[in-house]
Chain A
Amino acid sequence: MSERARTRFAAVLMLVLVPALVLLGSLVWANRRFYLVSILVTILSLLPMLLRFERRSPQARELVILSVMIALAVAGRAAFSFAPAFKPVAAVVILSGAAFGCEAGFLVGAGSAFLSNFFFGQGPWTPWQMLGFGLIGFLAGLFFAHRYQPKRLGLCIFGFFAVFLLYGPLLDVGSVLMVSGDVTKEAIVAALATGVAFNAIHGGATVLFLALAGEPLLRKLDRVKIKYGILSDAE
């Protein structure tokens, strides 16, 4: 299967199959075990990308570069631990996706969420964060990886919406499920409303990091890509 086809396959799996499973779960169990189902679904939805990575036995250079990007995101979260929503994690994940493609973006996102919780505490929120950041990285790869030198404005707009409309709401819904175990429209609206300010700060921080560091960092990552011929989507 070509890289394109594989990407499309993974996209279908994640963007269609997973919501379908959630829906099915909610119908079969009514709305009672929603949280357990949602966690299982989240974990399941992480698997295809991970297994795909396993199957193709990654090269040493891919592994080291991915590990640097993950470590950078984790260290960034630790370095800014004093400011709750002001984190460079999403920016690093987006840049990884934009430079090295969907799979790399997803792995950096999910990996950094998983690892950073070793320092900040694992909990029922871990799978949600993994899925959230993983999706952001995946989408960044989908939008930017095939373009040469994405523009700063594009990155910033994507960064803001990815955090404000995708990551934030996903985690808010996750916490509604965690807190009420029972989903009503009002509860979700309330959770989303209380999360708006937090998500806006998080999105703003992401935009700030992308605006200031996005282009030079992408240039550096592109240089690495050309120099060592790695992780490029062309096979």
Chain B
Amino acid sequence: MAAIRIDHLNFTYPLSDAPALRDVSLSVEDGEFLLLCGVSGCGKTTLLRHLKSALTPNGKRSGDILLDGKPLAEISQREQAARIGFVLQQPEDQIVTDKVWHELAFGLENLGVEPETLRLRVGEMASFFGIQEWFDRDTDGLSGGQKQLLNLAAVLVMQPEVLVLDEPTARLDPIAAAEFLRAVERVNRELGVTVILSEQRLEPVLGMADHTAVLESGRLSACGTPKEIAEKLYKTSSPFFAAMPAAVRIWGGLGGHGDCPMDVRAGKAMLRNYTLEKTDFPPAESVAGETLLRLKDVWFRYERSGPDVLRGMNLTVHKGEILAVVGGNGCGKTTALRQLAGSLKPWRGKPENEEAKVALLPQEPRALFTRESLRQELGSGQGRWIEALELSDLLDRDPGDLSGGEQQRAAIAKVLTSSPDVLLLDEPTKGMDAIFKHRFGEMLRALTADGLAIVLVSHDVEFCAEFANRAGLLFDGQLLSAGETRSFFTGNHFYTTAANRMARQQLPEALLCEEVIAACRNVPAPASPQF
């Protein structure tokens, strides 16, 4: 029997003409792992929220949702609370109480579970997730990944049959995200809990799911195993195909023949069937503009007796370039940016600034907004940026009501009001979907056309490889091998694009899917144009 069945669900938000969900029918078997994907604003969240009455938005609706064959409307809130677990996107905001142990107990307290039973269940779940080591801690001191894991555990103590997760890794770095998804996979495999998960970054999760469903503007456009989905999206030339993993995109670019590879290993095997023609890739457009900013042998630590975060860091920023800095968690990327911005002073070495105005966009762009409308925030005289960043329609909105991507753009417009020479971006692509990310990269390029320099620190190797002029790896407090983008990434083994990892034996200089596709010979059919 299907754990969850959605029957011809239609939904329209109040004050809106266009329906957010159109005739969605979907069935999830008991113990299944379903991946729900689609671009931002396609209705993923709206659909998932319909799976729990307490979170269902107001509006006009028709159709049925059945849990174990029984309409959701007939199941009491109390029963739903226990049977359907829900994890939201924001790790930080979901935490209710100040202590880890209390957070784990919160759900069971709400259900009125007696303390003896409660103690046992909490202990069990803490052990399952390895939380016992930080059981005593304040929730505020946890890392983002730990917080999200705690949210997952806090839902699972209630022993749900169905676990719904709405983009749970959007705010996590790739390593924490992978760890979180592994935990979800364990819950599915070892506890047999039905999982319904929505996700932007498909690469790590596509292989875990039994089935994948794709939503396109509120309509279910495809549903099936990941391979079937890849094939269907390719055949229908769906714009969402651009969000597929690199191996799938190359497979599509080569005409979609044979078995669709889902990961780097399979993609590599596929490429062996082709000969990759040696191509002379031009180096990323080198911008040898004047030097605007320079860190020279900079040392920094936060506390006098603490460890050095930066240890003799050297970095130069030229006019009109995009410089990307990649690196693991806690390697000092944000610290380096704040050195460039001048908001932290090094204890040794000196940042040299040739009178360049520097603007920093913090990781949380929300911190920039204090007024009641975007128009007030931006003031006048910013017409050009407002156009370029596609903000004209948003000017009268409250900055707090904007979506993540819109906030990011508005924040850039806001920092540009001080007409800076250097723009520093801290993890700008966090939580963006693949399609918007590409547009965002184009916007950044357009900004550098008039000589603005952009420095971005990011976990997103693919984005940096596509849009940066120069790139470097921050490790052990130093910037290692900052150089022209192509030579930097092709020299790496791990910090490089998936396309490069697949093609490196035959064509070590290729970085992007398009480049690999263009170089492939024995192509049986012309390449598809969607990329």
A binding-site residues for B, Cβ under 8 Å? 216, 219-220, 223
Contact = CB atoms under 8 A, between A and B. Distances in A.
B372 interface: yes
Interface residues of B, number: 2
4 contacts: A216-B372, A219-B372, A220-B372, A223-B398
Contacts of A220: 372
Interface of B: 372, 398
A4 B372 CA distance: 32
A220 B398 CA distance: 10
Nearest to A220: B372
Nearest to B54: A60
A220 B372 CA distance: 8
Contacts of B372: 216, 219-220
Nearest to A63: B96
B298 to A, nearest CB: 30
A219 B372 CA distance: 9
B56 to A, nearest CB: 15
Nearest to A67: B96
Contacts of A219: 372
Pairs of residues from A and B, 4 with the lowest C-beta to C-beta distance, nearest first: A219-B372, A216-B372, A220-B372, A223-B398
A68 to B, nearest CB: 11
A216 B398 CA distance: 13
Nearest to A219: B372
A143 B441 CA distance: 53
Contacts of A216: 372
Nearest to B371: A216
A226 B398 CA distance: 15
Nearest to A216: B372
Nearest to B93: A64
A63 to B, nearest CB: 9
A223 B372 CA distance: 11
Contacts of A223: 398
A219 B373 CA distance: 12
Nearest to A227: B401
A219 B400 CA distance: 14
A220 to B, nearest CB: 7
A223 B398 CA distance: 11
Nearest to A64: B96
Contacts of B398: 223
A216 B372 CA distance: 8
A220 B401 CA distance: 12
B42 to A, nearest CB: 25
A136 B437 CA distance: 50
B455 to A, nearest CB: 31
Nearest to A223: B398
Nearest to B400: A220
A91 to B, nearest CB: 17
B366 to A, nearest CB: 14
A195 to B, nearest CB: 34
A152 to B, nearest CB: 16
B465 to A, nearest CB: 41
A164 to B, nearest CB: 30
A219 B398 CA distance: 12
B107 to A, nearest CB: 13
B371 to A, nearest CB: 8
B13 to A, nearest CB: 14
Nearest to B370: A216
A137 to B, nearest CB: 23
B247 to A, nearest CB: 44
A178 B42 CA distance: 64
B66 to A, nearest CB: 27
B31 to A, nearest CB: 31
A142 B309 CA distance: 53
